[in-house]
Amino acid sequence: MLGRFGSLVPVVAQNVQIQQQQRGMATLKSISIRLKSVKNIQKITQSMKMVSAAKYSRAERELKQARPIGSGASQFYEKAEIAAPAELPAKLLIAITSDRGLCGAVHTSVARLIRNELNNDQQNLKVVCVGDKSRMILQRLYGKSIIMACNEIGRLPPTFNDASRLADAILKSEYDFGSGEIVYNRFKSVVSYSTSTLPVFSLAAVKTAAKLPVYDSLDDEVIQSYLEFSLASLLFYAMKEGACSEQSSRMTAMDNASKNAGEMIDKLTLTFNRTRQAVITRELIEIISGASAL
Amino acid sequence: MAAMRCVSRLLTRRTINTISTRGYADEMSFTFAAGNQVFYDSQSVRQVDVPSFSGSFGILPKHVPTLAVLKPGVVTVFENDGAVKKIFVSSGTVTINEDSSVQVLAEEAAAVENLDASAAREVLSKAQSELASASTDQARAEATIAVEVGEALVKAVE
């Protein structure tokens, strides 16, 4: 181990010497290489911004259509005043993220909320990760709490089919939860979103609700299928909100990246020109002083 | 005498007005949303007829609170101005809350006039052939649901 370090040090020292020897020319070259790569990065971030702007406008249009579904589905839970049952403390958290990164803090803020909940009570909490990003963030420390993860989210806009398949998988997972929360990013405007939660409940929780007797002619089967459908609609709504905030956040992130790249390009062009001028001046001095010495 | 009659006419008109405003106060806030489209968002309507698994029923303002699961069929909405709108739904839920708010959430919905009769029949025949060729229990159940939807579609178009 030590021997290897010993042989490395002289190599590094040699390199520094070579670089110092031919500084003028080499920096000119290296600056132009860096300039080129930053310009390429700017092109990439700019086109990514364009793509996500187009995707965002579509996502926002679709979100407007999905909002009544979400509010309609959650209204029963609010108006019937359903609370989590005390005898069944098991809880389910559904993290709505996607597979794609480079979009600011949308995924980390969802994961952070879940992490805080898990730190409080790891016994009765299980997590369903929708999208690879939340799984990647959570699995290292809380891998045992994850009961399910799904990917291939975010490439295409979410559909009701995706949501109902997810709801089906959650109901078939045989995790007996009393209540749950869907953690998602609620879209506010192009520049802001807030990480919020939507409650979901199981049949056991609904049956113990104080206001349930107000509702007429209910049997378990009706409530069960009602709950299954409302879980799907809530998931659909949350996925739409998540997709919209993700695209808008990616748009701002890429806009910032292009701006920063622009600043870097400006600075690099300035140093490039300065160095070039310095090289020319030095060569002139060399020629002139050489000629006058003759 | 003429003045008296005039006053009495005014009075009767006033009573009619109060009755109609009271009728208006019992309105419901009706939301009808589907995965593909939103038809009503907290709007006031006169009556809604829905097909459910526990039987079709009509909803008027101040209906008793209940939950129901939609069956494939036609939801009929009677708007306040008398217009009648028929919308086909494949499946979904109906929620009627204490405060007279009604939510119909459907998986997919389309106005009946936009449905194509020949396409509907095609859906039905395709579902029937799938049912005949289904091997597993799950496939059979799925095909049965598809046939149900197809039959309701054809019935709605006719």
DSSP assignment of A151-219 equals ---SSS---HHHHHHHHHHHHHT----SEEEEEEEEEEETTEEEEEEEEEE-HHHHHT-TTGGGSBS--
Give the count of beta carbons closer than 10 Å to the beta carbon of residue A17.
8
pLDDT bucket at B12, cuts 50 / 70 / 90 = low
What is the phi/psi pair of residue B26, to 5°? -85, 40
**Cβ contacts of B106 on chain A, cutoff 8 Å:** none
Mean pLDDT, rounded, for A144-167: 90
Element (H, E) at B102: strand B101-106
CA–CA distance, A21 with B11 (Å, rounded to integer): 108
Give the count of beta carbons closer than 10 Å to the beta carbon of residue A179.
21
**Interface contact B37-A65, CB threshold 8 A:** yes
**Cβ contacts of B54 on chain A, cutoff 8 Å:** 217, 222
Surface-to-core class of residue B133, CB atoms within 10 Å of its CB (0-12 exposed, 13-18 middle, 19+ buried):
exposed
Over residues A201-258, the pLDDT tens digits come to 888 888 888 788 888 777 888 888 889 999 999 999 999 999 999 999 999 999 999 9
Position A285 scores a pLDDT of 96
Would you call A174 an interface residue with chain B, using a CB distance cutoff of 8 Å?
A: no
Give first-to-last CA distance, chain B, whole Å.
Answer: 61
Strand-pair category, B28-34 with B101-106: parallel
Interface of A with B in 183-212 (CB under 8 A): 211
Position B23 scores a pLDDT of 45
CB A232 within 8 A of CB A2: no
Model pTM greater than 0.95? no
Over residues A12-65, the pLDDT tens digits come to 445 554 444 445 556 888 999 999 999 999 999 999 999 999 999 999 999 998
**Interface contact B66-A72, CB threshold 8 A:** no
**Cβ contacts of A66 on chain B, cutoff 8 Å:** 33, 35
Query: What is the ipTM score, two decimals?
Result: 0.78
Q: A132: alpha, beta or left, given left = phi > 0 and alpha = psi -120 to 50?
A: alpha
Selected residue of A62, A78, A82, A160 to mutate for chain B interface (largest B Cβ count, 10 A): A160
Under DSSP, the state recorded for B27 is -
**C-alpha distance from A215 to closest chain B C-alpha (Å):** 5
**Interface contact B98-A79, CB threshold 8 A:** yes
**In the CATH scheme, what is the homologous superfamily, with its name and number, of domain B23-113?**
F0F1 ATP synthase delta/epsilon subunit, N-terminal (2.60.15.10)
Interface of B with A in 44-83 (CB under 8 A): 53-54, 64-69
Give the count of beta carbons closer than 10 Å to the beta carbon of residue B138.
9
CA–CA distance, A242 with A236 (Å, rounded to integer): 10
Closest-CA residue to A167 (of A117, A238, A106): A238
**Percentage of chain B lying above the pLDDT 90 cut:** 26
Higher-pLDDT residue of B93 and B11 is B93
What angle in degrees, to the nearest 10, is found between the helix axes of A132-142 and A106-120? Answer: 30
Q: Which residue of A has its CA nearest to B53?
A: A222
Higher-pLDDT residue of A4 and A145 is A145
**At residue A265, does pLDDT exceed 90?**
yes
Surface-to-core class of residue B19, CB atoms within 10 Å of its CB (0-12 exposed, 13-18 middle, 19+ buried):
exposed
CB B125 within 8 A of CB B102: no
Position A257 scores a pLDDT of 95
CA–CA distance, B145 with B131 (Å, rounded to integer): 9
Q: Tokens 């364009």, residue? A: A50
Mean pLDDT, rounded, for B17-29: 56
Of B68, B98, B101, the CB nearest to A214: B98
Q: Tell the CATH topology of B115-157.
A: 1.20.5
Mean pLDDT, rounded, for A283-291: 95
**Cβ contacts of A234 on chain B, cutoff 8 Å:** none
Give first-to-last CA distance, chain A, whole Å.
Answer: 58
pLDDT bucket at B5, cuts 50 / 70 / 90 = low
**C-alpha distance from A113 to closest chain B C-alpha (Å):** 28
Position B9 scores a pLDDT of 52
**Cβ contacts of B38 on chain A, cutoff 8 Å:** 65, 68-69
Higher-pLDDT residue of B21 and A37 is A37
**How many Å separate Cα A166 from the centre of its chain?**
20
**Domain-by-domain residue ranges, chain B?**
23-113, 115-157
